[in-house]
Amino acid sequence: MKSFLLAACLLSAGLAQSQRLLTITPSGGNKKAVSGEKIGLTDVTIHYDRPGVKGREGKIWGQLVPVGFIDQGFGTTKEAPWRAGSNESTTIEFSTDVKVEGQPIAAGKYGFFVAYDPNECTLIFNRDNTSWGSYYYDASKDVLRVKVKPVALDRSVEWLKYEFTNQTENSAVVNLMWEKLAIPFKIEVDLIKTQIESFRRELRTDRGFYWTPWQNAAQWSVDHNTNLEEALQWADTAVNSTLGDRNFVSLSTKAQVLAKLGRTAEAAAVMKEAVPLGTMQQIHQYGRNLLTGKQNKEALEVFKTNYEKYPNQFTTLMGLVRGYSANGDYKTALGYAEKALPLSPNALNKTAVEKMIGQLKEGKDVN
């Protein structure tokens, strides 16, 4: 009986202990947060706890956040950097290989630490992404260290935060901001590599059974002037008889790839097939693109074709205005501009046509 009572008491004590472990807000009222953004196709995700200034203005940097590495009096390290937040270790994760401040780092999840200095901070990316704070920081597990200069802020940030700024197609600046200081660092991705690899993966899935993804991949390559030989294969697939569709979009993309490869005669032949399949706006834009490329005679022929297909429309009349003007025939261009004026769809267009009429009367090109 006594042994039964002892066991019951121990079980009761264990249950009581476990029932004390309730979910509560983080220690010190610090807020858990996640900051993330896509840079190109790369996901960058930062998990951190947000300490507040809480009336400690002027006592954050160099005091609460120590300078350099210190002995915190607990854990296994005698030279601990700041945890770049509060409570648990801050972590940063990259879904692909990236560069931080120009230095390469592989895809993965890292513990993120900062050795603060008022002149130059050391940012540390460490393989240990599970330890509490920096009490168990092990420098031998550092994957990358970079140095950056802190920047003074003209306003105070109460709760520490990570903010992405200066975004471009393949880069962004991450700013660790707290009180009146920011610690910025630039992350860059290899957009060309990651995007082409993504195209190859996706085109092997069910998406590859439709012509549009093949055309999308080829067009992206043209727009970025990269991977053109493979882009031509993609463009060919988009127009083939198995799953392709020979329409203005697919054919014009193929023509653009051929032109980029220097195969201009082949490109022209493909566009000759494409133009009759285009809408009024598609053909007009193609003519405008030819004008941009200083192919004025070719542009005029395209505008004439568009006008024959869609006569006496504002858009096709304006195409002839631009086409004849680009070839120096201002008198003919003026005639078409005067025909287009009463067809102007809105006041903005009307004003633009009136300006063109004035330029043509003065013998000036409107393009």
Give DSSP secondary structure letters for 96-147: S-EEETTEEE-SEEEEEEEEB-SS-EEEEEES--SSSTTTT--GGGEEEEEE
Please give the pLDDT value at position 297: 95
**Which one has a higher pLDDT value, 8 or 56?**
56
Please give the pLDDT value at position 77: 92
Q: Cα–Cα distance between 314 and 339 in angstroms, integer?
A: 8
- Token pair, residue 184, equals 């910025």
Q: How confident is the model at residue 30 (pLDDT cuts 50, 70, 90)?
A: confident
Q: Cα–Cα distance between 322 and 333 in angstroms, integer?
A: 7
* Contact indicator for 271, 248 with CB cutoff of 8 Å: no
Domain ranges, ordered by start, for the chain: 26-189, 192-361
* Contact indicator for 320, 334 with CB cutoff of 8 Å: no
What CATH number matches the domain at 192-361, 3.40.50.300, 1.10.10.10, 3.30.420.40, 1.25.40.10? Answer: 1.25.40.10
* 148 C-beta neighbours (distance < 10 Å), count: 17
**Digit-coded pLDDT (tens) for 168-211:** 999 999 999 999 999 999 999 999 999 999 999 999 999 999 99
Nearest by Cα to 320 from 331, 352, 364: 331
Q: What percent of the chain has pLDDT over 90?
A: 90
- SS3 state at 240: coil
Please give the pLDDT value at position 226: 97
In eight-state DSSP terms, residue 63 is: T
Q: Cα–Cα distance between 209 and 228 in angstroms, integer?
A: 22
Half-sphere exposure of 337 (CA within 13 A, CB side): 26
* Contact indicator for 85, 26 with CB cutoff of 8 Å: no
Half-sphere exposure of 92 (CA within 13 A, CB side): 27
**Which one has a higher pLDDT value, 31 or 147?**
147
Please give the pLDDT value at position 31: 85
Indicate if the pLDDT at residue 212 is higher than 80: yes
Nearest by Cα to 60 from 79, 75, 82: 82
* Radius of gyration of the chain measured on its C-alpha atoms: 32
**Digit-coded pLDDT (tens) for 66-105:** 999 999 999 999 999 999 999 999 999 999 999 999 999 9
* pLDDT, mean of residues 39-60: 95
Q: How confident is the model at residue 26 (pLDDT cuts 50, 70, 90)?
A: low
Q: Cα–Cα distance between 179 and 283 in angstroms, integer?
A: 56
Indicate if the pLDDT at residue 23 is higher than 90: no
* pLDDT, mean of residues 291-320: 95
